[in-house]
A and B are shown apart, each in its own frame.
Chain A
Amino acid sequence: MWLVEARTVFSRARVRALLVVLVAVPVFLAFAVYLAGGPHNGQGPTFLDRASHNGVFTALAGLVVTMPFFIPLSIAVMAGDAVAGEASMGTLRYLLIRPAGRARLLAAKGAVLALFCMVAALVVVMAGLLAGVVLFPHGPVVTLSGTTIPFLDGVGRSLLASLVVGASMFGLGAMGLFVSTLTDVPIAAMAVTIGLVIVSGILDGVSQVAFLHPWLFTNYWTSFTDLVRDPMHWGLVWKDLLLQLGYVAVFGAAAWARMVTRDVQA
């Protein structure tokens, strides 16, 4: 069932378009840096100044650039559509009388959403790596700590970073999935989910609510950069993953409670 669900979702033109955008951003970034020479050391977003030093940094810069907006946007679109989209098309009623089972259907939706999170982060890094290797040097990588690691080590770390970024989106995905069970209008669910990202991002920047920061799902989103230190710093990454797990537990349970009781009118 999960496999069939994945095939249905990924066969959709809209979903492929989202992935194309996620591929295009790092590639565009690489070309822009290649043509313009890139910002000088220490300017622009993290890693962007190093994007032209090494293909590995092109990939990481791609992550940094897509992390605050493009990746969460695509997750919000997918999550918001997950249940509300089926409701608005009317296919939800036919899945339920198949009977797919309400809880099982939700689980399949959640699993494919998690897969999409991973794929989204992975395509960004892969596209960045490819563009970076073609346009820029691909020798040993100078870490943020100043040490040098072999190129393949750097590639491994950027792939690891994409896994962390993908998992960092699980909390958002779970919230979006919950919102998606509340309505028959997918656009509304998407908008609310994007709104959650924006609100969390704003709160994260307000020092008066610093007590909230450790609980915001966006708070540790940039922790993946610690993986490019030598040795790797796992502290914030673990905190991030634990927090995401908490969000998945809470909002997954809420989505389940709503899904198994809701009246299907559409």
Chain B
Amino acid sequence: MSGPSDLAVETHGLTKVFSGRPAVDGIELSVPVGSTYGFLGPNGSGKTTTIRMLLGLLSPTAGSWRLLGREMPGAAMSTLPEVGALVEGPAFYPWMTGRENLERFDSMGPGRPSRSRRARIDDALARVGLTAAAGKKYKAYSLGMRQRLGLASALLVPRRLLVLDEPTNGMDPQGTREIRNLVRELATGGTTVFLSSHLLSEVEQVCSHVGVMHRGKLLAQQSLSDLLASAAPRLRAEVDQPEEAAQVLSGLGLDDVLVAGRQVSGGLAGVPPELCCRALVEAGIGVRMLVPEQVSLEDAFVALTGEGFDVAG
């Protein structure tokens, strides 16, 4: 049981119903301070709706939540200055330059000294690689540049919590890599990062913790390593007599044994792979290849939902 101060985000029964249909259904988020939390789910699973509620843009149909240990939405004016966010893509004034946009947002609220504004904006623009384009009108920005400006806006002051909703949407591979590095750098600096994504690989590469969303429900929430460990690993082998091999493996206690061409695979269910190898060889089966499969987040996701990842909620 962790105390409230150990959690950067904490929700209880958080629910949002849109015209009779729950978009977010009683979720219990626990995001540890200092973690990089991947909020994973296919499109339409309720990630953005959850983030909007966390930031006080939508009022929940039911439930309560805390940010940085403070009860929301009551503490919004004192808490949100410490929270940087990117919600459902960037949004700025098209007739103003990137720099003018940052100036406007920086000055439209409490707690940002105008003396340091210029330096802070320069610094934020440099961090996201937009220095050269700062004087261009926002309407001339590409999607990737817009996303970067949104990140710059979230980084104008040091934050304790960053909420990033699909931050790499619309970015090229180079930009994606840069964002990933930026997130790592921020996390190393002690910022808690809550990162929503529909991309398994993105979460797998940067996150320490994962919450899996599916049709408005939070199906699992663990450290990434625990989640991967909990998903049953599989054995895959390429053999000369697949049918016989399948019988041997089933006899050893592997479950869900499948044959596809010369390939045989099955859930290891605790059976050591070495034992499988020896049993196959002793049964006179020629083994060309045998690997215990690296469990991916996708496997874990399929195991949790019983569905492929592309299914929209």
Contacts and interface: CB of A to CB of B under 8 A. Distances in A.
Interface in A1-32: 1, 4-5, 8, 11-13
Contacts, number: 77
Contacts of A101: 77, 109
Given A96-B56, A96-B57, A98-B80, A13 B105 contact: no
Nearest to A264: B57
B35 to A, nearest CB: 21
Q: Which of A1, A8, A89 has the most chain B CB atoms closer than 10 A to its own CB?
A: A8
A96 B109 CA distance: 9
A100 B95 contact: no
Contacts of B96: 8, 11
B80 A89 contact: no
Q: Which of A97, A98, A265 has the most chain B CB atoms closer than 10 A to its own CB?
A: A97
A90 interface: yes
- A-side binding surface: helix, strand, loop or mixed? helix
A91 B92 contact: yes
Interface residues of A, number: 24
A96 B52 CA distance: 11
Contacts of A11: 95-96, 100
B20 to A, nearest CB: 16
A265 B92 CA distance: 16
A11 B104 CA distance: 12
B59 A89 contact: no
A263 B59 contact: yes
B153 interface: yes
Contacts of A13: 95
A197 B275 CA distance: 85
Given A99-B77, A264-B52, A264-B58, A94 B83 contact: no
A91 B57 contact: no
B87 interface: yes
Contact of B56 (A12, A90, A97): A97
A180 to B, nearest CB: 17
B291 interface: no
Contact of A8 (B52, B56, B81, B93): B93
Nearest to B76: A99
Contacts of B85: 97
A93 B93 contact: no
A35 B81 CA distance: 61
B107 interface: yes
A5 B108 CA distance: 8
A95 interface: yes
A55 to B, nearest CB: 36
Contacts of A263: 57-59
Interface of A: 1, 4-5, 8, 11-13, 89-91, 93-101, 105, 261, 263-265
9 contacts: A4-B103, A8-B96, A90-B91, A93-B52, A94-B91, A95-B108, A96-B55, A97-B83, A99-B109
